[in-house]
Amino acid sequence: MHPGIGGRHDGGVEFLDDQRALLTRVSDGAAVDDDMAYAAGLLRGLGVRFRALPGNHDVGEAGHLRQPITEERLFRWRSYFGGDRWVEDVEGWRLIGFDALILGNGMNEEAVQAAWLETLTAEAEGRHVAWFLHKPLFLKNPEESDTGYWSVKPEPRARLMALLNRHPVALVASGHLHKAHDFRRDGTRYLWGPASSFLVGKAQPPMPGEKRLGAVLYEFGITGLRAEISEVPGLTDHWIDDVAEEVYPRSPT
């Protein structure tokens, strides 16, 4: 949810009403207190339970020169949206949401989250496991080099892939790229959810996936998972390239 883009909320509310959503997951887009208060108010007005995960525009990211992740930014985000990691056990599934932005930052929070994720994944008690995080683990393959801004860094990625190999994870769901992509690798389904805000043009290097707006509908049940990348009526394609200097102004040099 990017409040600065505007014009997206009403269509999303109608879409959720039509789908009779029981639980909504949202990620990214509120950079300052006013934006966070606005976004949190909109979410609480939906009338359905929601779980939120921070994105890079919310809390920064490890190693970023101008917007590094900090304890202060994490505290601010949590004060509006609650915990930045969570678990839900539903209908034979364990849904685990965790903070992708603290990966690789060396903070104590990273080690605490890693132990928490290991325990919950290992002790799912026969449930299928689904991971939710903001950034994708990789773009093309888990062995690829550093993709910079676009995915989890190689070192924390390797730790997560090792955990995934030790304990089966049926679904890894992410966002961040403003693209839709649904594929399988080594028995795990990877799903990149599209944004409802805007598309990214030339600033984005070549990578898999479709440039489209929308949402992902998940149905978790005893018999399995149904997930569908869906259009959201009322959304209009906007390209961040056209307004990048306005939305993300450069720092004075």
What is the per-residue pLDDT across 33-48, written as a single tens digit (0 to 9) for each? 888 898 889 888 888 8
Asked if the model's pLDDT at residue 178 lies above 90, the reply is: yes
Per-residue pLDDT band for 250 (boundaries 50, 70, 90) equals low
Asked if the model's pLDDT at residue 18 lies above 90, the reply is no
Give domain 9-239's CATH superfamily.
Answer: Metallo-dependent phosphatases (3.60.21.10)
User: Contact 48/16 with Cβ under 8 angstroms?
Assistant: yes
In this model, does residue 26 exceed pLDDT 70? no
Query: Dihedral of the CA atoms 196, 199, 204, 210 (nearest 10)?
Result: 80
Q: What mean pLDDT value characterizes the chain?
A: 87
Contacts of 170 (CB under 8 A, 6+ apart): 93, 128, 129, 130, 188, 189, 225
The pLDDT score that the predictor gives to residue 69 is: 87
pLDDT tens string 119-165: 999 999 999 999 999 999 999 999 999 999 999 999 999 999 999 99
Beta strands in 48-111, from DSSP E residues, in sequence order: 49-53, 86-90, 93-97
Enter the pTM of the model.
0.88
Per-residue pLDDT reduced to its tens digit, 208-244:
999 999 999 999 999 899 999 999 998 999 999 888 7
120: which residues sit within 8 A by CB, 6+ positions away?
87, 94, 96
